[in-house]
Structure 1
């Protein structure tokens, strides 16, 4: 715990860090997390590649937890560290799955601590903090790093000593290599597949699960690769996802909620998992309805339209600028009419039926739209851009 530092080398115990120190540190966290991430990935390129793969979100969560929990425990020494503990153990497990020692991970922890200490010194000068307080901070920080390393060692040894589960460990490592994509030579994937008696398929379908994944592994088909660790459990199913595979998952994961990615070539497995996880996010935000099983293939247009929200907002700002000055009610009525016209190209009478208004009202609105948008409505590319924006707004009304 960083709240109380261990005895110093001269035998006199250093006092606890004052809780107010957390208030000084907390504003530094976002930029400090970013700085540590840049320095660690520069020193350890392997971690840089991982941050571009399907495990990126989980890794970032772990890094943020490692840093923020230190500050939380300064403010409140009894603050929970359960998620941080599990993420550290998972980092250790991952190093074991990849067949590495803990040297790189321990080096990354210590590098992060040095960067944090460097930042704390700048903060100390800014607030004129005493040398004794800064020494206490350094002592508590490196004690905290020892704690992180011990937790990661637990996860590492858990994998390395589980002889009976060696095949499962190798197959999880195989799954990691497949999802890592192009940085990993295909020969390495093929060699590990041969060692685990797993036939390399031409196509695969990835499945994202909502944690916790309470699964009966014995009921999974023998060719299914699985990583059930939180926060992002997932499965790889060779070939397309059919009714037989659905029955298998229903039996192995009763009551679970999961999303089925698109079937893709083996080399593109990470894309299938990324889309499946994105659908889970859209379910969590209420854009896609929840169900025990949701297939990405049923929501491909939604995935595409909402794939880059910031860019969509820029496009909406450009294409809908002509109506930005109107009142909200008038703008909504006009855009509803414009969307109906772009989608159907119907007559005024037909649009009136769709919108439940008189045909004359439709004609008036269309004349207004033509005067406001001008040449935009006669340019095919601009019409298409407007239709994209309006379709996205109907999917996510508050996204623009």
Structure 2
């Protein structure tokens, strides 16, 4: 957790050495004054100061005052011990159930009391306003540093509780999949807090409950799997590639759910891969993709691309069906079936017959109907591609869509 730090000894302002000597006799009384004022003005600290609680508060205040005076006398004095005391103090405050606001308020109050005493002693000792200004800067930076160390301890302790771990892990997953992308530094910092190793690549998995019941909030999964199952669109994140074993474990942990496994991509591209996986689940619901328990989006990328803009695809379907406007629904369905087989078999009569399970002579008759209906479109590459997109967007085996009003016929390249 970033915070202000004391100046490097080489750059620290030079304060008179005798200032530390004058302040040392004040240490014990100013520590007591800080504790008394904090307890008087912050209700959460009014409990008795006996036992471990009181010892931790007293140790934190005394260490802070003592170190500040040491830093005045010798800017190179080690801060490690004081840092450890205040880190533990932050951890203790979290375990005691106090908020971050309360902890930070205690540090601000401690700084105010200490500065009040220093100003009085400094004036009585005749120090100049320049020296007192330098001392004020050092005091503010010093207390800010200790507050930052305590904050780190507080967050470390918070991250160690079961509920906090789940909360931070969900927040981490949210950072990874949000758009615009979160800074890599924010992801790294939060991952370190919860003990999650940031992978080079990851695989998002979209989750859909098969029934009304919501999936369990904390399924039995490997510790490196991030989950967000309470959202409107549940999802999980698998580090690296999704193995069949990993997916099987997902199915066992979430038996009432359907899954769409996204592509394995660099972490910064996970949001896109999750979007594709969610689209695959939607196409399963719509009957475009088979109703499998697990859908691998990498295996149906052309279908995902084809249905990435339904309004545009509907426009292509409408152009196709407008050419069949004069046919009955049954004739239209047979014509589309024949066109699909013709495109799949690249016009080969026997290939078409095999797909339609009809005699080749029947195929030749139907092909004459195709020629009469579509004409040059069957032989122009661009127009043929458009026909194939429109045909593939129609559900195979379902009833043909009703004919639309005839649209202007597209111009074909010469």
Q: TM-score, normalised by structure 2?
A: 0.53
- Per-residue CA shift, 1:191-226, capped at 9, x if unaligned? 222222222212111112224454483631111111
Which residue of structure 1 lines up, in the alignment, with residue 333 of structure 2?
Answer: 332
Which residue of structure 2 lines up, in the alignment, with residue 264 of structure 1?
Answer: 265
- Per-residue CA shift, 1:13-34, capped at 9, x if unaligned? xxxxxxxxxxxxxxxxxxxxxx
Deviation at 1:167, TM superposition (A): 2.0
CA distance in 1, matches of 2:241, 2:317: 37
Which residue of structure 2 lines up, in the alignment, with residue 309 of structure 1?
Answer: 310
- For residues 58-207 of structure 1, the aligned pairs below 5 Å read 164-207=162-205
Which residue of structure 1 lines up, in the alignment, with residue 286 of structure 2?
Answer: 285
CA distance in 2, matches of 1:365, 1:241: 46
Deviation at 1:248, TM superposition (A): 2.8
CA distance in 1, matches of 2:217, 2:178: 26
CA distance in 2, matches of 1:326, 1:396: 18
Deviation at 1:315, TM superposition (A): 1.2
CA distance in 2, matches of 1:366, 1:328: 19
Deviation at 1:164, TM superposition (A): 4.1
CA distance in 2, matches of 1:192, 1:340: 54
Which residue of structure 1 lines up, in the alignment, with residue 11 of structure 2?
Answer: none
Structure 2 gaps of 5+ residues are 1-99, 101-157, 402-414
Which residue of structure 1 lines up, in the alignment, with residue 362 of structure 2?
Answer: 361
In the alignment, is the contact (CA less than 8 A) between 1:213 and 1:233 conserved in 2?
Answer: no
- Per-residue CA shift, 1:148-194, capped at 9, x if unaligned? xxxxxxxxxxxx99954222211111111111143422222222222
Count of matched residue positions in the alignment of Structure 1 and Structure 2: 242
Change in Cα spacing, 1:282 to 1:396, as seen in structure 2 (3 Å) is farther
Deviation at 1:251, TM superposition (A): 4.0
Q: Over the residues paired in the alignment, what is the CA RMSD in angstroms?
A: 2.9
CA distance in 2, matches of 1:351, 1:284: 30
- Per-residue CA shift, 1:2-59, capped at 9, x if unaligned? xxxxxxxxxxxxxxxxxxxxxxxxxxxxxxxxxxxxxxxxxxxxxxxxxxxxxxxxxx
Deviation at 1:364, TM superposition (A): 2.4
Structure 1 gaps of 5+ residues are 1-98, 100-159
In the alignment, is the contact (CA less than 8 A) between 1:340 and 1:351 conserved in 2?
Answer: yes
CA distance in 1, matches of 2:319, 2:279: 26
In the alignment, is the contact (CA less than 8 A) between 2:329 and 2:400 conserved in 1?
Answer: no
Deviation at 1:245, TM superposition (A): 1.1
Instruction: Please say which structure displays the higher CA radius of gyration.
Output: 2
Q: Secondary structure at the match of 1:201?
A: coil
Deviation at 1:277, TM superposition (A): 1.9
Q: Secondary structure at the match of 1:226?
A: strand
CA distance in 2, matches of 1:207, 1:230: 14
Change in Cα spacing, 1:388 to 1:230, as seen in structure 2 (3 Å) is same
Which residue of structure 2 lines up, in the alignment, with residue 246 of structure 1?
Answer: 247
Q: Secondary structure at the match of 2:395?
A: helix
Q: TM-score, normalised by structure 1?
A: 0.54
In the alignment, is the contact (CA less than 8 A) between 1:287 and 1:396 conserved in 2?
Answer: no
In the alignment, is the contact (CA less than 8 A) between 1:206 and 1:269 conserved in 2?
Answer: yes
Q: Secondary structure at the match of 1:262?
A: coil
In the alignment, is the contact (CA less than 8 A) between 2:159 and 2:165 conserved in 1?
Answer: no
